[in-house]
Chain A
Amino acid sequence: MTTTSESTPTPSTATAPGQNGGGAAAARPIEVVRVLVPKRSFRSELRAIKIVWRREMIRFVNDRMRIVTSLVQPFLFLFVLGGGLQTLVRAGTHGVDLKTFIYPGILCMTVMFTAMFSAASIVWDREFGFLREMMVAPVRRSSIVIGKCLGGATVAALQGVIVLAIAGLVHVPYNLELILGVLGLQLLLAFTITAFGLAVAIRIKQMQSFMGVMQMIVMPMYFISGAMFPANGLPGWLTVLNRIDPLAYAVDPMRRLVFSKLNISPIARHVLDPGLTWWGWHVPALLEAGVVLALGVALLGVAIWEFSTTE
C-alpha cells in the first residue's frame, strides 16, 4: 500500500496484513473489502424506507409478548363489556348480539392501539439513542418517517388480522369480500393513526409524556367515534364531536361492511347501522375512507416536516 489517496474510492480489494479475530496478532493476509457509497438516489431512498420497515417487522416478530398484550384490551371490550352489557341492551338490539354490534368497533380499536404503540417506538428510539443512528444517515428524513409509518401500519394491520380471525365467535361470517374489505380498512386506519402518532411522538422526548398525551387524545377519540354505539340520535354536542372525530370515518365503513354480510332484520339494521350523515346526507363509504386517507397523508406530511426540522 503506497497511497492514502481516497478521492475516487472504488469497490476494489487490497491486501493488508495483520488480520486477527480476537485482538492477538495472528498474521494472516486478508482482503480489505472497500465500499463505495453511491450518491443519494431514488433507489437508495427506497432501500432506506425498506430497511426501516423491516426493522419494525423484525422487532414485531421477536416481541411475542407485545402481540399478546395488545390483544388483551380489545378482547376485554368485546367479550367482557359486550357479553356483560348484553342482558341490559337486549331490547334495543332487536335480536342482534351486542358483541356482533361492537365487533367492527373492536376491529378498529385493535388497529388503533397497536398503531399508537408503533408510533411510540420513535420515542423509545430517541431514549435509547438509536434514533440518532438513523438521523445521521445520508438519507432523507422523510424516508425514515415513511418507513416507520409503513412499518407501524403493517404491524397494526397484522394485529387486526388476529381479531378478524375470531369473527366466527361473534356470529360474523367468514366471507372473502368482507375479509378483504376489512383488511383494506384496517391498513388505511393503521396508516393514519401511525402517522398521527408519529407527528405527536417526534415532538415528545419522554415515554411517560407520550403515553399521557395518547391517553388524553386516543381514548376520547375512540369513545366519540361511535365504535360502541350507533352514531344517530345522539345529543347535539355529541353529534358534532362525532362528526369531527376522524375515527368515526373508519368505524362507520367498517360497520357497514360487516353488517352488509349479516342476516338480520331491517329494523335492527336501521337502528344499529344508520350510517354517518352530514346535515341529513348519507356519506358514502368510499368518501369516508377517502377522509381517513387524506387525513393520514396530511399527518404524514406534518410528521415529515417536524422530523426534518429537528436537529
Chain B
Amino acid sequence: MIRNLYAMADSNQPAISVSGLTKRYGDLEAVKDVSFEVGAAEVFGFLGPNGAGKSTTINMLCTLTKPSAGEARVAGHDIVTERDDVRRNIGLVFQDPTLDGYLTAAQNLKLHAELYGVPSELVAPRMEQVLRMVGLWDRKDGPVRTFSGGMRRRLEIARGLMHSPRVLFLDEPTIGLDPQTRRSIWSYIRELQEREEITIFMTTHYMDEAEWCDRIAIMDQGEIVALDSPETLKAGIGTDRITIQTDDNDAAMLALRERFGVEPQILEGAVSFGVAGGEQFVPRLFAELDLPIRGVSVSRPTLDDVFMSFTGSTIRDAEEDPSKMRNRVMMQMMGGGGRR
C-alpha cells in the first residue's frame, strides 16, 4: 500500500517514459511502436516468451542499443541524446553474467564504484551495505569464480546498486536458478525497493514471478498486448471461481441460481461457480444464503490465464512455436539483437 502511495506521489515525474519505441533489424521489427510509463519506486515487470522483444526493449532503455524510431526518457534523461546521464542513474543486471571471476567480490564492486565515479569516501560504507543486503558480506574476499550461480546473481544485484541508481534494470534476474534462490532473490528485490525507493524494471518469463510486480506489461511479438497490475489483469479475465461445501448441494445450487443469478455446477462433490470479484462476493454469500456453509474457497485466475487471453496461447506454447523460434534465431544472428 505504501508503495502505491509513493508511486502516486511521484506520478507526475515518471522514472521511465517511453513513446513509440521501435527497433528494426532489417525487415524484422523486434519492437513495434511501444509506449508506456513507469512511476517512481514502482516494480515494473516485462513479461513474455523468449524472443518477444523484452531484451531488445531493455537494451534500448539502458542505452546499449539505439532505437530505430520513437523516444524514451529514463530517470528524466533522453536515452539517445543524454546517454551518460541515463547511465549514471541506472543499475544493470544482465541475463548473462558480467563479473570478473578472477577478482574477489569486493574487488568487483570496487571496480564498479571507480568506473561510475562513486566518491572514494563512500565506496567502503556503500559496499558493506549492498553486500550485507544480499547476504554476501562474509564472502567479500572470496574469488567470484568460487561462487555458486545464485551467489553470483546476488553479487551482480549488489554491484548494480553500488552507485545508488534511481532505476535498476534486471534482465531475467532469476533465470536458471533453483526455486529457493529465486524466491530469495525476489525478497531482496522487494526489500530493496522498499528501502532505497528505487524503481525496478525487470523482465521475466516466469509467470509466477510476475506476481511480485506492482504492474506488468505483457509483450508478445514485439508489442505490448496488456499493461496493468497483476490483480487488475487477472480481474480482467472476469470471474473468480468460488467453491462451497454444503450439506445439501441441490438446495444450495437452487438458492444460488435464484438469489444471485449465477450458474453453479458440481465439481468433485462441491458446488462451484464463477463470479466477478470473488472476495467481495463471499460476505454476501454468507449473509444471504439461508444454508449452512461448511467451507468456502475462492480461486483467482492466474497470469497464465491472462497471458492466454491476450495472446491466444500459453507462454510455454509461445516459446515452442517454431515460427517464433526462427525469429529469435534470426535476431541473434543479426548482430545479436536479442541480447547484446
Contacts and interface: CB of A to CB of B under 8 A. Distances in A.
B296 interface: no
B116 A62 contact: no
Interface string B64-77: 11100000000010
A129 interface: yes
Contacts of B41: 4
B97 to A, nearest CB: 5
Contact of B102 (A9, A22, A48, A59): A59
Contact of B6 (A4, A135, A136): A4
B164 A9 contact: yes
Nearest to B110: A51
A22 B135 contact: yes
Interface string A44-69: 10011011000100110011000000
Contacts of A9: 164, 166
Contact of A311 (B9, B65, B99): B65
A34 B133 CA distance: 14
A138 B84 contact: yes
B239 interface: no
A39 B89 CA distance: 11
Contacts of B97: 128-129
Contacts of B85: 138
A33 B85 CA distance: 21
Given A11-B119, A21-B135, A311-B335, A51 B114 contact: yes
Looking at B40, B129, B164, B187, which has the most chain A CB atoms within 10 Å of its CB?
B164
A20 B194 CA distance: 14
A35 to B, nearest CB: 4
A37 interface: yes
A84 to B, nearest CB: 38
Nearest to A62: B102
Contacts of B88: 37, 39-40, 138
A134 B115 contact: yes
A135 B114 CA distance: 14
Nearest to B131: A21
B129 A23 contact: no
Nearest to B108: A133
Given A32-B196, A35-B118, A136-B92, A4 B133 contact: no
Given A21-B135, A50-B114, A129-B94, A136 B62 contact: yes
Contacts of B238: none
A212 interface: no
B117 A44 contact: yes
B137 to A, nearest CB: 6
A1 interface: yes
A33 B129 contact: yes
A133 B122 contact: no
Interface residues of B, number: 59
Contact of A51 (B62, B94, B115, B196): B115
Nearest to B84: A138
B94 A132 contact: yes
Contacts of B96: 129, 132
Interface string B97-122: 11111110001001110111111001
A19 B133 contact: yes
A44 B63 CA distance: 20
A163 B13 CA distance: 62
Looking at B13, B103, B117, B118, which has the most chain A CB atoms within 10 Å of its CB?
B117
Interface in B25-77: 40-41, 62-66, 76
Contacts of B184: 23
A30 B115 contact: no
B218 interface: no
A50 to B, nearest CB: 7
Interface in A115-171: 125, 128-130, 132-139
Contact of A130 (B87, B98, B107, B163): B98
B101 A128 contact: yes
A18 B101 contact: no
Nearest to A40: B84
Contacts of B163: 35, 37
Interface string A292-311: 00000000000000000001
B197 A311 contact: no
In the A-B complex, list the 4 residue pairs whose CB atoms are closest, starting with the nearest: A51-B114, A137-B115, A138-B87, A35-B164
Interface of B: 6, 9-10, 13, 40-41, 62-66, 76, 84-85, 87-89, 92, 94, 96-103, 107, 110-112, 114-119, 122, 125-126, 129, 132-133, 135, 137, 162-164, 166, 184, 187-188, 191, 194-197, 335, 340
Given A30-B129, A59-B100, 13 more contacts: A6-B40, A21-B135, A23-B188, A33-B126, A35-B164, A36-B164, A38-B119, A62-B102, A125-B100, A128-B100, A129-B98, A135-B64, A136-B87
30 contacts: A4-B197, A6-B40, A9-B164, A18-B194, A19-B133, A21-B135, A22-B135, A30-B129, A32-B195, A33-B129, A36-B164, A37-B116, A37-B118, A38-B117, A38-B119, A48-B115, A48-B117, A51-B115, A55-B103, A58-B103, A125-B100, A129-B94, A129-B99, A132-B94, A133-B99, A133-B100, A134-B115, A137-B115, A311-B66, A311-B335
